[in-house]
Chain A
């Protein structure tokens, strides 16, 4: 999907639909299978499987306690797939462009800048984790429960330091509030089609529409 506005729209609508009901999740999964590069848009298997395992454990506990564990597993895995796709497809500067397009040069620019910094932070954290793995291996320490605290401490401290550096840099460059950019978007016909189809699970998950189907049955 080239147009980040439609990508954001599809991600939000499908995520809400997937989270709202199992049927919505299955419809969103069908959309994901048709309109995304599927496995090419996933993070590294280790990271993805780790997140799925975390969701599965929560689902198992929920099911064991009499809750809708299986439904939770399906819904959250679909939300995860959509998030991974949206993250992989997002290019640098796109979030800022969409925020300015939607909310203007003042609030939009602020929100977009914060979101861009957040996304950049995620990329940096991934690189940090790689470096920490190497450093731990040099000390003969294997990544496990014991190493979680030092790794988390390191990631938090380095992120705070980077945020501080970035804030100082913005001040030095005279940044106060808002800014002006002229976002340009390219919208392909497939983008429009995908966005229209994304609305189907979104409409189906609306309580009012669901009630109509129940009455018809």
Chain B
């Protein structure tokens, strides 16, 4: 199971996006500043946008889902339970998973942004697609909600998960790192080898690296553990 980007080129006005590489099984983090082209890349990978040249080739992938940055756009039903049903899921099971038990009759628009994001993320994870793309899954969430979202992403044990995010504080465990800058996608490689090459690394990782520690992954707890190992 993999997605190949073959000399991808996409232009809109003065902005152009370029990228090559392969997304294999596991969790990938595509980081980069706001406006660097992460959402455009997500739309290209989801085959919603067509590249000007080059291609996105999927191998062994039979289902794909994209979480949009604003979860409101995903709503098509008037209650939370119906919304779960529209994804072909059992509402009771989903509500427990999304930590929204007893809220089945609520209007989805009455949920907070964090609750709504959790609901849609839970829907997508329970659908278990071969390729799951998450566009800014942590934006407008508080720290607790971000941690909950990370746990949900980490629960996914198979398939390809690609996270597009500029988040630099609360991150899940990942298998590979990518960077977007000025519309160019750069593959940094697999974690932990890629961490020292990561220019947009969170401050806690940069600090750990400066102290001579070698974190196993990109979470705060990984940096802490690496510092503890180094400093005894």
Please report A residues at the B interface, Cβ cutoff 8 Å.
128, 131-132, 134-139, 141, 147, 150, 153-154, 157-158
Contacts and interface: CB of A to CB of B under 8 A. Distances in A.
B72 A134 contact: no
Interface of B: 43, 46, 48, 65-66, 68, 70, 72-78, 86-87, 109
Contacts of B70: 131
Contacts of B73: 128, 131-132, 134-135, 154
A147 B76 contact: yes
Contacts, number: 38
A3 to B, nearest CB: 27
A137 B76 CA distance: 12
A188 B213 CA distance: 67
Contacts of A138: 46, 65-66, 74
Which 3 pairs across A and B sit closest by C-beta, in order of nearness? A150-B76, A131-B73, A135-B73
Contacts of B76: 135-136, 139, 141, 147, 150
A95 B75 CA distance: 34
Nearest to A132: B73
Nearest to A128: B73
Contact of B48 (A128, A137, A139, A153): A137
Given A131-B73, A139-B74, A158-B72, 6 more contacts: A128-B73, A132-B73, A135-B76, A150-B75, A150-B76, A154-B75
Contacts of A154: 72-73, 75
Nearest to A146: B76
A37 B72 CA distance: 37
Contacts of A128: 73
B87 A134 contact: no
Given A150-B75, A154-B73, A157-B109, A135 B68 contact: yes
A145 to B, nearest CB: 14
A139 B87 contact: yes
Contact of A131 (B68, B77, B86): B68
Contacts of A158: 72
A150 B77 CA distance: 7
Contacts of B68: 131, 134-135
Question: Which of B46, B65, B68, B74: most chain A CB closer than 10 A?
Answer: B74
A128 B87 CA distance: 21
B137 to A, nearest CB: 15
A68 to B, nearest CB: 41
A128 B68 CA distance: 12
B126 to A, nearest CB: 14
A139 B75 contact: no
A183 to B, nearest CB: 28
A135 B73 CA distance: 6
Contacts of A134: 43, 46, 48, 66, 68, 73
A132 B70 CA distance: 10
A142 B38 CA distance: 26
Nearest to A141: B76
Contacts of A141: 76
A154 to B, nearest CB: 6
Contact of B74 (A135, A147, A153, A157): A135
14 contacts: A131-B73, A134-B46, A134-B68, A134-B73, A135-B68, A135-B73, A135-B74, A138-B66, A139-B74, A147-B76, A150-B75, A153-B109, A154-B72, A158-B72
Contacts of A147: 76
Contacts of B66: 134, 138
